[in-house]
Amino acid sequence: MRRREVITLFGVAAAAWPLAARGQQSGERRRRIGVLTPAPAQFNSETLLRALEQRGHKEGVNLVLAVASAEGRLERLTALAEEMSRGEFDVVVTVNTPATRAILAVPGTAPVVMAMVSDPIVLGFVDNLSRPTGRVTGVANMIHDLAQKRLALLKEAAPSLGLEVSFLPVREAKEVESAFREALASRADAFFVVAGQSGVIAAPLVELSLRHRVPAAVPLREHVRWGGLMSYSADEVDHWERVADQIDRLLRGASPAQIPVEQPTKFNLVLNLRTAREIGIEFPPTLLARADEVME
């Protein structure tokens, strides 16, 4: 009898380092930017700081960056958000949905720029993308909207896969291995990270998928660099440059209502050729030709 072919979808939640301020040397008046993130891997500080410097805001000169991470433990976000709301920040950046929800649930006056959120209207963060109300604007990555496309690309990469789907929610990194083994017991042929706090679970999932020679389709380029088979997502550099642009406009006096919530326009398909060879998959030439990046 033909064995079942199951693609397992992982979802996640996450959590923090202590609030850490950077760039506090003496000198001219510094603008303070707070960043709240569920996990360090979800915050691309290098790209953001480079883009801010290009706009005249240099860490250690006229900019202080204070980062609070829940270190993959979502339950810590509320306390971190409360602590951040008591700080004197010119702008607060929230990374992903849980951090945005946490900061908007506590009193505060600092404008908020949300990053790496899927659909701000569906999530209830804004009523109108072109003219957001309240103190929040930001840049969406529409990652949930891309799930069907990513699933189709996984099917194209490995045509033998069926389309029977099993969903295994994962809230913390320590839960990945047990969920992975449960999926293997159900004869899973591939793993597909839907969204959620993918930065929390991608590393252990990629490690397990390589060990067991099972393909893993992951949301972001960084996860492919770790060894995931493939990703399709909004261009991450472009995303954080847009976040920097919104921060710059707020620091220059604009209000959140004057800055539309942006949606991605650039997308990248990234393939890992080495991983494909290790797990016995040969990418079709047509897929390789369409890839924006092929990692060896």
List the CATH number of the domain containing 43.
3.40.50.2300
Kindly write down the DSSP assignment for every residue of 24-90, as one continuous string.
Answer: --SSSPPEEEEEEESSGGG--HHHHHHHHHHTT--BTTTEEEEEEE-TT-GGGHHHHHHHHHHS--S
Are residues 167 and 213 both part of a single domain? yes
Average pLDDT of span 234-256: 96
Same domain, 52 and 158: no
Q: Same structural domain for residues 55 and 121?
A: yes
Residues 89 and 196 in one domain: no
Cβ within 8 Å of residue 165, ≥6 positions away: 6, 7, 8, 9
Residue 3 has pLDDT above 60, yes or no: no
Is there a single domain that holds both residue 194 and residue 90?
no
**26 and 151 inside one domain:** no
Confidence of residue 252 (pLDDT cuts 50, 70, 90): very high
pLDDT score of 16: 34
Confidence band, pLDDT 50/70/90 cuts, at residue 7: very low
CA angle, residues 165, 289, 237, in degrees to nearest 5: 75
Give how far Cα 158 sits from Cα of 7, 140, 153, 201, 230, Å: 11, 30, 9, 23, 11
- Summarised one tens digit per residue, pLDDT across range 120-149 is 999 999 999 999 989 999 999 887 778 888
**Residue in the structure block whose two tokens are 């946490």:** 102
Confidence grade of residue 10 (pLDDT, cut at 50, 70, 90): very low
Question: Do the domain assignments include residue 180?
Answer: yes
Q: Is the domain of 239 the same as that of 94?
A: yes
- The whole-number pLDDT of residue 13 equals 31
3-state helix, strand, coil in the chain (%, to 5): 35, 25, 40
**Token pair of 283, please?**
């990418």
83 and 206 co-located in one domain: no
Residue 253 lies in a domain: yes
- Residue entry with tokens 């995303």: 239
Residue 229, pLDDT above cutoff 60: yes
Task: Let me know whether 47 and 132 are in one domain.
Answer: yes
Pairwise CA distance, residues 110 & 282, whole Å = 50
- pLDDT at residue 197 above 60? no
For the chain, what is the domain count?
A: 2
Is 1 a member of any domain?
Answer: no
Whether 224 is covered by a domain: the verdict is yes
The mean-pLDDT minimum among 81-90, 151-160, 241-250, 266-275 falls in 151-160
In-domain check, residue 29: yes
What is each CA distance from 134 to 88, 109, 117, 262, in whole angstroms? 18, 10, 17, 16
| Residue-level pLDDT at 2 | 33
Considering the domain architecture, whether residues 61 and 149 belong to the same structural domain is answered as no
48 inside domain: yes
- Per-residue pLDDT at 280: 92
Residue 220 lies in a domain: yes
Mean pLDDT for the chain overall = 86
E strand or H helix at 138 = strand 136-140
CA–CA separation, 7 and 81 (whole Å): 36
Choose the weakest-confidence range: 181-185, 197-201, 209-213, 223-227: 197-201
- Pairing mode, strands 164-169 and 136-140: unpaired
Residue 28: the pLDDT is 64
Cα atoms in the 13 Å half-sphere on the side-chain side of 252: 12
Judgement on whether residues 186 and 196 belong to the same structural domain of the protein = yes
Mean pLDDT of the 175-187 span: 86
> CB 26: neighbour CB atoms within 10 A?
5
CA angle 116, 117, 119 (to 5 degrees): 145
The whole-number pLDDT of residue 163 equals 64
- Are 124 and 196 in the same domain? no
Domain residue limits at 167: 6-12+144-234+267-295
What contacts 135, CB < 8 A, 6 or more positions away?
A: 108, 109, 110, 111, 112, 256
Does 202 map to a domain?
A: yes
Query: When comparing pLDDT for 13 and 285, which is higher?
Result: 285
Dihedral sign (CA 165, 233, 197, 105): negative
